[in-house]
Amino acid sequence: MDQEDPRTRILDAAEELFYGQGVQAVGMDAVRAASGMTMRRVYQHFPSKNDLVEAYLQRRDGRWRASLAVHVARTGGTPREQLLSVFDWLGRWFAEPGFRGCAFVNSFGELGATTPAVAAAARHHKEEFAGYLAGLVEAVGAPPATAVHLALLAEGAITTAAIHGDPGAAADAKEAAGLLLDAALAARS
């Protein structure tokens, strides 16, 4: 960790603390302590907590979406199999130690009404995820509205897994997604 640049160390500490405990529950001193940086160094990189929260969400968005895209690309198979593999990836995420649901929904719930940057980051993340699903749906040949329906299934699975602590929500959503996809393709024929 000592070899990492200070900004990365601060963001790593913030991500672990914000995601694990909630943004409002974590002060800048806790981030300072977890990162091993001085408070002066923390504020050199992030002049305010809002700046740090925004950077945390931006980085998490990029990492989350990249991890999903790599998983889907490695799945291979038919476009349908690739699309449904999104739910396999979700299931693996849900089973990770410390899974607390969607960082963007959590942050929006805490700060979205009072912090426009958090609301914008949450909207951006959800729009990008929906757009990614739309591309997969297009490759399958299903109607575009199917992507909206699949996004709702995925979001519901994320919430259900977080609340109930059950990664099986991903498998249930995958089954429903397969039925939905089959019905959408049959209706299009």
pLDDT tens digit sequence for 35-92: 999 999 999 999 999 999 999 999 999 999 999 999 999 998 999 999 999 999 999 9
Tens-digit pLDDT profile for residues 96-119: 999 999 999 999 999 988 999 999
**Does 95 lie in the same domain as 39?**
no
184 & 138 share domain: yes
81 and 42 share a domain? no
Domain limit, last residue, from 47, 67, 83: 47
Cα separation, 93 vs 8, whole angstroms: 22
Residues 36, 124 within the same domain = no
SS (H, E, C) the chain: CCCCCHHHHHHHHHHHHHHHHCCCCCCHHHHHHHHCCCHHHHHHHCCCHHHHHHHHHHHHHHHHHHHHHHHHHHHCCCHHHHHHHHHHHHHHHHCCCCCCCCHHHHHHHHHCCCCHHHHHHHHHHHHHHHHHHHHHHHHHCCCCHHHHHHHHHHHHHHHHHHHHCCCCHHHHHHHHHHHHHHHHHHHHC
Is 52 contained in some domain? no
pLDDT tens for 162-178 read 999 999 999 999 999 99
Statement to judge: residues 161 and 142 lie in one domain: yes
For residue 34, give the CATH number of its domain: 1.10.10.60
CATH of the domain at 134: 1.10.357.10
Residues 10 and 71 in one domain: no
User: By residue range, what is the domain housing residue 42?
Assistant: 1-47
Please give the tally of structural domains in the chain.
2
